[in-house]
Amino acid sequence: MMKNTSFNPKGNRTIGNRLQEACECTVQSSKDRCNSLTSGHRACQGCGEALGARWVVDAAMKAAKGKLLVVNATGCLEVFSTPYPETAWQVPWVHSLFGNAPAVATGVAAAMRVKGKGDVRVLAQGGDGSTTDIGFGCLSGMFERNDDVLYVCYDNQAYMNTGVQRSSATPPTASTATTPSMGHEPGNVFGTGKNLPLLAMAHQIPYVATASLSDTRDLEAKVERAMSFSGARYLHVLVPCPLGWGYVPNDTIRLSRLAVQCGLFPLFEAEDGEVTSATKICEPCPVEDYLKPQKRFANLFKGDKKSDKRLAQMQAIADANIRRFDLLGDEENCK
């Protein structure tokens, strides 16, 4: 979802623009952004999660007019941001366990409600491990109760904090420490994994969206939209991990973009269980463009028949997404 702006070119997809009114720009372009996650944290160079978290929480802070409490699941984000005696968080923040962030957030939201501070909003966040695996029970509970929490999953597609082990968000063929690619054998297998955004939609919660680091404006617009609802909301953000995916750190945003453009990571929004919008792909590319720069997918590029077949299967997944969400842009929606 692009912010509709009358402003014409000179990089109108950039984060800011000196000619644009502050109100038309992103939160990230503002000198007054809250920098919810500030300097000195210990995330790796080029960490997608660190970047995604600041974008999301800053945008949520703005939407909540500074009245925001953050609940964090165990994981990279929690570990690199708060090694005693330092914290990189400049917002009220609580961490309890790996699998209970949604429930803790429910409790925080309940506390605000009973104390008559309903204007204080709650954001819970975690990685794909805590969201799709260990915390899924709590998340599902939070969803079905429609608790007033925005839950954000920063999906880097494996347990990165513990050393890159497979999660239910790990894509097929990806090599991880627990699904290693050996010789010509691929890593993770086909036909596994779960699609959390679709599962969230099945709970009929008011708002579900996917976002990536490819487009700040789109991501922030979704956070803003999410914050305009009360009840349970879910935002699934793809955050590349240089270490776990095996690529050079300055590729974090490019890979986020390629993931979207090749169709493997569709960007869409859903309200009350129905898809309401999908971001059209205007610069389509084969999955190869996205997969090849990542070492975890090296098994797809062995040049033999088997790896070619696997690559074709990956393309088929992307094609299925493109069909399912009607992602291919035409002249009209790709001006």
Partner 1 sequence: MKPFATVLEAGTSLTNKTGSWRIERPSYVNRLPPCNKACPAGENIQEWLSLVEQEKYEDAWREIVKHNPMPAIMGRVCYHPCENACNRVVVDNPVGINSVEQFLGDMAIREGWYFAPAAKSSGKKVLVIGAGPAGLSAAHHLAQLGHKVTIKESQKKAGGMMRYGIPQYRLARKVLDAEIKRIVKQGVDLQLGTKVSDLNVLMKEESFEAVFLSVGAGKARTTPFPTEKDTRVFDAVSVLRDMEGKDKPDLGKRVAVYGGGNAALDVARTAKRLGAKDVTIIYRRNREKMPAHDFEVEEALEEKIEINFLSTIKSYQGKKITLEKMALDKSGFPQPTGKTERMEADCVVLALGQGVDAELFDGVDALKMEKGIIPVDEQMMTAQEGVFAGGDMVSSFRNVTISIGHGKKAARCMDAWLRGQKGASSKKHDLASSDRLNTWYYEKAPRRNRKLADPAQRTDSFDEVIKGLSQTDALSEARRCLSCGNCFECDNCYGVCPDNAIKKLGKGKGFEINYDYCKGCGLCVAECPCGAMEMTPEEN
Partner 2 sequence: MLKQVEGSRAVAEVVALCRPEVVCAYPITPQTHIVEGLGELVKAGHVENCDYINVESEFAALSVAIGASAAGARAYTATSSQGLLFMAEAVFNAAGMGLPIVMTLGNRAIGAPINIWNDHSDAMSMRDAGWIQLFAENNQEAADLHIQAFRIAEELSCPVMVCVDGFILTHAVEEVDVPTQEQVDAFVPPFEPVQVLDIKAPVSIGTLVGPDAFTEVRYLDHKKQLRAYDVINNVSRAFKKAFGREAGGMIRTYHVDDAKTIIVAMGSVIGTLKDMVDEKREQGQKIGLVSICSFRPFPSKEIQEVLQKAKHIIVLEKSLASGQGGVMSAHVKLSIDKKIPVTTLIAGLGGRPIPKKSLSDFVESMEKGTHGELHFLDLDHAVVERELAAFEQEKGRGR
Q: In whole angstroms, how close is the CB of 196 to partner 1 at the nearest point?
A: 23
CB 145 within 8 A of CB 154: no
Binds partner 2 by CB under 8 A, chosen from 13, 22, 45, 66: 66
Handedness of CA 123, 55, 264, 327 (dihedral sign): positive
How much is the CA Rg of the chain, to the nearest whole Å?
A: 19
Q: Which is nearer to partner 1, 85 or 303 (CB)?
A: 85
CB 238 within 8 A of CB 153: no
From residue 73 to residue 102, the character string flagging contacts with partner 1 as x (rule: CB under 8 A) and all else as - is --------xx-xxxxx--------------
Residue 28 near partner 1 by CB under 8 A: yes
Cα–Cα distance, 152 to 133 (Å, whole number): 14
Cα–Cα distance, 46 to 49 (Å, whole number): 9
From residue 100 to residue 119, the character string flagging contacts with partner 2 as x (rule: CB under 8 A) and all else as - is x--xxxxxxxxxxxxxx---
- Among partner 2, partner 1, none, what does residue 43 contact (CB within 5–8 Å per kind)? partner 1
Binds partner 1 by CB under 8 A, chosen from 130, 157, 252, 299: 252
Q: Which is nearer to partner 2, 98 or 247 (CB)?
A: 98
CB 213 within 8 A of CB 238: yes
| Letter string b/e over residues 188-204, b meaning 16 or more CB atoms within 10 A of that residue's CB | beeeebeebbebbbebb
From residue 213 to residue 252, the character string flagging contacts with partner 2 as x (rule: CB under 8 A) and all else as - is ----------------------------------------
Q: In whole angstroms, how close is the CB of 332 to partner 1 at the nearest point?
A: 12
C-alpha angle 127-288-163 in degrees, rounded to nearest 5:
30
How many other C-beta atoms can be found within 10 angstroms of the C-beta atom of residue 250?
A: 10
Q: Which residues sit at the interface with partner 1, rule CB under 8 A?
A: 8-19, 25-26, 28-29, 31, 35, 37-43, 45-48, 50-51, 54-55, 81-82, 84-88, 216, 242, 248-254, 257, 283, 334-335
